[in-house]
Structure 1
Amino acid sequence: MNRRSFLKKLIGSTFILLGVSGGTYYYARNIEPSLLTTKEEVITSSKIPTSFDGFKIVQFSDTHLGFHYNLDQFKELVNKINHLSPDLVVFTGDLVDDPNNYEWNSRIIELLQSLNATKGKYWIYGNHDHGGYGTEIVYDVMNQAQFKLLQNNHDVIQINADRIILAGIDDVILGKPNLSEAIKNTNPDLFTILLAHEPDFADTTLQFPVDVQLSGHSHGGQVRLPFIGHLYTPIYAEKYVEGKYTFSKSNLELFVSRGIGTTRLPYRFLCKPEITLFTLKRS
Structure 2
Amino acid sequence: MKKWLVLLLVLVAILYFGNKNIKTTEIVVESDKIPTSFNGLKIVQISDLHDATFGENQTKLVKKVKNAKPDLIFITGDLIDSNRYDLENSLDLVEQITSFAPIYYVTGNHEIATNDMENIKTSLTEIGVNVLTNEEETIKKNGEKVRIIGIEDPLNGVLIKEALSKFKQSETFTLVLSHRPETFQDYVNHNVDIVFSGHAHGGQFRIPGIGGLAAPGQGLFPHFTAGVYEENDTRMIVSRGLGNSIFPVRVFNTPEIISVTLKSK
Q: What range is the shorter-chain TM-score in?
A: 0.7 to 0.9
Report the secondary structure of 1:38's partner residue: strand
Q: Among 90, 94, 105, which residue is 1:123 paired with?
A: 105
Q: Among 85, 94, 99, which residue is 1:102 paired with?
A: 85
- Give the deviation of 1:177 after TM superposition: 4.0
Report the secondary structure of 2:214's partner residue: coil
- Give the deviation of 1:176 after TM superposition: 1.9
Which position in structure 2 is the counterpart of 1:13? none
Q: Among 199, 208, 229, which residue is 2:190 paired with?
A: 208
- Give the deviation of 1:145 after TM superposition: 2.4
Q: Among 12, 24, 45, which residue is 1:59 paired with?
A: 45
Alignment of 1:68-79 (within 5 A): 69=53, 72=56, 74-79=58-63
Q: Which amino acid is the alignment partner of residue 142 of structure 1? A: L
* Cα distance change on mapping 1:112 and 1:34 into 2, 3 Å: same
Report the secondary structure of 1:96's partner residue: coil
Q: Which amino acid is the alignment partner of residue 55 of structure 1? A: L
Which position in structure 1 is the counterpart of 2:180? 198
Spell out, residue by residue over 1:75-130, the C-alpha distance to the aligned partner (whole angstroms, 9 max, x if none): 3212221222211000000011127x53443x643431221467621000000111
- Give the deviation of 1:181 after TM superposition: 5.1
- Give the deviation of 1:61 after TM superposition: 0.2
Select between 87-96 and 228-237 the one with higher mean Cα deviation. Answer: 228-237
Distance 2:81 2:225 in 1: 20
TM-score, scaled relative to structure 1: 0.82
* Cα distance change on mapping 1:104 and 1:184 into 2, 3 Å: closer
Select between 38-47 and 28-37 the one with higher mean Cα deviation. Answer: 28-37
Report the secondary structure of 1:143's partner residue: helix
* Unmatched 5+ stretches in structure 2: none
Report the secondary structure of 2:261's partner residue: strand
* Unmatched 5+ stretches in structure 1: 1-17
- Give the deviation of 1:255 after TM superposition: 0.8
* Cα distance change on mapping 1:96 and 1:25 into 2, 3 Å: farther
Alignment of 1:1-283 (within 5 A): 22-23=8-9, 25-27=11-13, 29-65=15-51, 69=53, 72=56, 74-98=58-82, 101-105=84-88, 108-116=90-98, 120-178=102-160, 184=166, 186=168, 188-236=170-218, 238-247=222-231, 250-283=232-265
- Give me the CA root mean square deviation: 2.6
Distance 1:234 1:24 in 2: 30
Distance 2:133 2:176 in 1: 11
Distance 2:54 2:122 in 1: 20
* Cα distance change on mapping 1:175 and 1:157 into 2, 3 Å: farther
Q: What percent identity do the matched residue pairs reach?
A: 31
- Give the deviation of 1:174 after TM superposition: 4.0
Report the secondary structure of 1:254's partner residue: strand
* Cα distance change on mapping 1:82 and 1:200 into 2, 3 Å: same
Q: Which amino acid is the alignment partner of residue 87 of structure 1? A: D
- Give the deviation of 1:24 after TM superposition: 6.1
Q: Do the aligned residues in 2 keep the contact of 1:62 with 1:217 (CA within 8 Å)?
A: yes
Distance 2:91 2:190 in 1: 35
* Cα distance change on mapping 1:179 and 1:194 into 2, 3 Å: farther
Distance 2:263 2:165 in 1: 23
TM-score, scaled relative to structure 2: 0.87
